Structure formats: C-alpha cells, structure tokens
C-alpha cells in the first residue's frame, strides 16, 4: 500500500491480489463553492445532505484483470464495508458502465 497525504487530501493505492485500487479521501465538501448546483437539487434531503457533509471518499479500480462486472463487484463489496451510520450513502457509477 502506498499513501500520500496533505492537510486536505489522503491518496492511497492498494493491491488486493491482482487488483490495484485507488482511494482518495478529501476533507472538504464535494460541492463547496457551488451554491447554484446545490439549490437546484430536486429533493430537500439531497440539499440537506450537501449542506451537512464535510468530506468525501472516492474509490476507483485502477488496474487488474477481469470484466467491468468483476471490477464493480470488488468495489461494491469494499463500499459496503466502509459505509456506516455516519456516512450519507451515496454511490455513483459511470453512466456508460451501468
């Protein structure tokens, strides 16, 4: 595992067997400085979630064998393990691969 950090960002590469995953934890709100975007969200609970969150985590499949289904299955299993009651459960996948 390789980690690089600063005051705002922690970036980690992790090898799991033949798979390489990247993780980026950022200690600022995802939509910081974009009030128009937040106001235009259709649901009140979405707007409240954006107002209340303070950090975000990105998990990406960087390299390895297998189809997109295998890659997303591995990422999904890790997401389930990471999420707990303190996280707003929002997982986004690229639209072209859904």
User: Residues 4-27: pLDDT tens digits?
Assistant: 666 677 888 888 889 999 988 888
Model pTM?
0.64
Q: Which two tokens stand for residue 12?
A: 């980690």
User: Residues 22-48: pLDDT tens digits?
Assistant: 988 888 877 777 778 788 888 888 888
Q: Above 60 in pLDDT, residue 98? A: no
Q: What is the dihedral of CA 6, 28, 56, 48, to 10 degrees?
A: 170
Domain boundaries, the chain: 2-97
Q: Which two tokens stand for residue 10?
A: 């922690």
User: Residues 58-96: pLDDT tens digits?
Assistant: 888 889 888 888 888 888 888 777 776 555 555 555 555
Q: Are strands 9-16 and 19-26 parallel, antiparallel or unpaired?
A: antiparallel
């Amino acid at each position: 595992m390789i980690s690089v950090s600063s005051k705002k960002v922690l970036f980690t590469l992790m090898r799991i067997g033949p798979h390489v995953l990247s993780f980026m934890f950022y200690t600022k709100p995802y939509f910081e400085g974009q009030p128009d975007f937040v106001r235009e969200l259709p649901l009140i609970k979405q707007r409240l979630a954006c107002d209340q969150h303070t950090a975000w985590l990105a998990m990406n499949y960087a390299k390895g064998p297998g189809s997109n289904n295998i890659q997303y299955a591995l990422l999904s299993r890790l997401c389930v393990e990471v999420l707990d009651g303190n996280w707003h459960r929002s997982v986004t996948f690229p639209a072209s691969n859904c």
